[in-house]
Structure 1
Amino acid sequence: MRKHPNAQALLNQVETLLPLIRADAPTAERQGHLTDAVLAALFKQRLFRLFIPKCYQGEATDLPTALKVFERIAYADGATGWLVMIGAGGGLFSGFMAEAAAREIFEPENAVIAGSGMPSGLAKTAENGFMKDGFEASGRWAYASGAHHASWFTANCKVDDTEDILAIAVPAAEVAVHSTWSAFGMKATGSHDFSVEKVTVPRDFTFSLADTPILNDPIFHCPLETLASVTFGSVAVGIAQHALEAYQAFAQHKTIYGQDGVLAEQPAIQQCIEQAQTQIEHARTQLYDLADAVWQACEHGQTPDEALRTQVQTECVTLVQNCLHAADSLKARAGMMAVFDTSEFGLAWRDLHVLSQHVILSPPQD
């Protein structure tokens, strides 16, 4: 399996960003978006460009390496990891768009996509049929992570009130962002609603992921839901690892009323920590085994088969739930430490719970 030619250098660069990301996380949470310093560092390291191809000045990173990037950033801060993952994931669309449009959207160094996959909009052609210049689009969509710093927004629309779905790409200047994101975790993602009203979208600025990709880079053979499952999983693993280590640091110093010693010396606590670490390590191994299998198919120019896609979806739900259970078992033994805004453990626990509510990660309903 081919790796990014500078994969280790990329990962080393990511490690240098982690102290800044963690230090700025409380500020980002309070203000509801990344700090200018963190955002500038992410752009400088080109981390939103991991899935943009070389022909559009991207990094063309292999999937397993990209997952390691997302995991490590999420380890520093869950919301930042989510935003890098979502922003980089938008690079997938570059392989399905006309070249001139793709260059306009993806070549700028500060290019980053926010958007929604829900078909909550309407794209109208002219009343007399084909509209040479494209479509008139209107609609409102929810949960656009990274809306604060996005340069373009993508959104799914129904075409002329039919069941046909088409994705549109609209510059941020033509989009209204509505301040709707008020969650108890992942606050810094700024996952607000956005809308457009009768905006003209040239045909070249529309695309469908159901079509055969125009470019043949391996990433463009990875279905969006498969990519979402593994990338969401990488963020979950990173957050869970942060929660575990924050709890361990707490337990090393927490004295127990009426007893000698600290919490970490209690056999029951030691067992709980060991079990949590085992769960997280198993989730990590499971995740990268899946990613390797997906990437092997993509490198051969093939879409992963249905059995593998189903396996990815099922196992990613399971591994995220296992990360959640690990964090919950620690929270049950954290006392009041877990509830304060200043608690690193509390922030990681809240972020992990919000991530786990995403529809792609929801356990099947019986």
Structure 2
Amino acid sequence: MRDTDSTCDPAWDEVLTELAERRSEFHKQGYVPRDFIEKFFPLGVYRHATPEKFGGEVIPPHEFLTMVERIGRVDGSTAWVVAFASSNTYLGALPVETQAEIYRNGPDVVAVGGLFPMQKAERTETGFRVSGHWKFASGCMAADYISVGLLDESAGGKPRAAVLPASRVTTVDNWDVSGMRASGSFDTMVEDAEIPLDWTFVRGGKPLIDEPLFRYPLIGYQAQCHAAIGLGVAQAALDYAQQAGSYRGITGAPPVGERAYHRTEFAKAYVALKSARAYFLDVAEEVWETVRAGDEARDEQKARIRLSAVNMSDVASQVVHDISAISGAAIINNSHPLNQIRMDAQVPQLHASLSQHMYDDAGAVLLGLQPTTPGFL
């Protein structure tokens, strides 16, 4: 169990220094390569959501979120990829024997997924047969396993994920975007694949692992991880603004740090981000303590996880917008630090787990009503 901020470890400084040196390489090729992902193995990132019985070393969610934030402060795309280390909690719904096979070579397993659009699969005596094409398999270029989504009426409307070794999945080289350029969220394809039932699970289904992290709200955790990416990117915008006070532009006006509107807007952005961050991490820690004590997370806690995450995402995006608005026309240059930050800042908000209707659902639950979105709780 890790209860301290592991990002204070000097090993983190070494990895993030290398990230700062290589991020342009990653952005140019469109993905974070396996050799760099493996730099996070000794830091515990890719075993934090592995069951302890298979060698996992739990990192509490609020601490993992600060890890994602710190990575995002250097590069949003790499934070996006690494954040998915948390999704190994989904694998807890697989039969324990299947999990043992996944972790047979050790606890540091890179598992990613692009489940949509879900594809119709033929039911067989032993499982499923499927051919299909899926979107947004973030981090697939460095993966050990890739999950794809199957249409299955027995799953109660939830996606059924089929887990395949990465070697059995074809990656389509079509990731050409402005934001999160190095996330490597390529399309994937399989052709006439036989998948045993024991290598499938219902996403959001009850885990078969009885450990605290697997009692933490799984889908809510994914929303938090995506919001933490945006938080890190917004921190990077504030870092830039703090270092750019002497910038004068080309008009002969005083340095931006001497302009009242610049100081005012910076202060507003600073306090907005810090306030949203405090609530965001407080909720995560509170719910962690609940499940750590052996209790189930309450519905209102699940709602506050989702509320704090969507609020964090929105505030982070707005902070980047506001800092950009007072930073001068130079930010439109492709080489300007704020240019990629601006492009990255909008992406977490676009993820389904951080959609605007989360406010409505959270409000309903906090008022004692039922949410309207399936799977919200």
With the length of structure 2 as denominator, give the TM-score of the two structures: 0.87
Evaluate the alpha carbon distance shift between residue 108 and residue 69 of structure 1 in structure 2; reply closer, same or farther with a 3 A threshold: farther
The 1-side partners of 2:196 and 2:19 are apart by: 38
* Mapped pair 1:63 → 2:57: no
Output aligned runs, 1:112-151, within 5 Å: 112-118=110-116, 120-126=118-124, 131=125, 133-151=126-144
The 1-side partners of 2:89 and 2:236 are apart by: 28
The 2-side partners of 1:150 and 1:37 are apart by: 11
Moved more, 273-282 or 108-117: 108-117
Which secondary structure state, in structure 2, belongs to the residue aligned with residue 136 of structure 1?
strand
Q: CA deviation at 1:329?
A: 0.9
The 2-side partners of 1:36 and 1:230 are apart by: 24
What is the aligned counterpart of 1:244 among 238, 242, 249?
Answer: 238
* Mapped pair 1:179 → 2:173: yes
The 2-side partners of 1:19 and 1:288 are apart by: 25
Moved more, 36-45 or 310-319: 36-45
Q: CA deviation at 1:209?
A: 4.0
Contact 2:90 2:218 in 1 (8 A): no
What is the aligned counterpart of 1:229 among 223, 244, 256?
Answer: 223
Unaligned segments of structure 2, at least 5 residues: 361-377
Evaluate the alpha carbon distance shift between residue 309 and residue 270 of structure 1 in structure 2; reply closer, same or farther with a 3 A threshold: same
What is the aligned counterpart of 2:97 among 96, 100, 106?
Answer: 100
Which secondary structure state, in structure 1, belongs to the residue aligned with residue 285 of structure 2?
helix
Q: CA deviation at 1:117?
A: 4.0
The 2-side partners of 1:256 and 1:286 are apart by: 40
The 1-side partners of 2:15 and 2:202 are apart by: 35
Evaluate the alpha carbon distance shift between residue 325 and residue 162 of structure 1 in structure 2; reply closer, same or farther with a 3 A threshold: closer
Evaluate the alpha carbon distance shift between residue 157 and residue 211 of structure 1 in structure 2; reply closer, same or farther with a 3 A threshold: same
What is the aligned counterpart of 2:323 among 330, 337, 342?
Answer: 330
Per the alignment, residue 262 of structure 2 pairs with 269
Q: CA deviation at 1:176?
A: 1.2
Moved more, 334-343 or 235-244: 334-343
Moved more, 139-148 or 11-20: 11-20
Contact 2:87 2:222 in 1 (8 A): no
Opposite residue 15 of structure 1, the aligned amino acid is D
Per the alignment, residue 369 of structure 2 pairs with none
With the length of structure 1 as denominator, give the TM-score of the two structures: 0.89
* Mapped pair 1:258 → 2:252: yes
Give the aligned length.
356
Which secondary structure state, in structure 2, belongs to the residue aligned with residue 185 of structure 1?
coil
Quick one: percent identity of the two aligned structures?
23
Evaluate the alpha carbon distance shift between residue 162 and residue 242 of structure 1 in structure 2; reply closer, same or farther with a 3 A threshold: closer
Unaligned segments of structure 1, at least 5 residues: none
Q: CA deviation at 1:139?
A: 2.4
Output aligned runs, 1:200-215, within 5 Å: 200-215=194-209
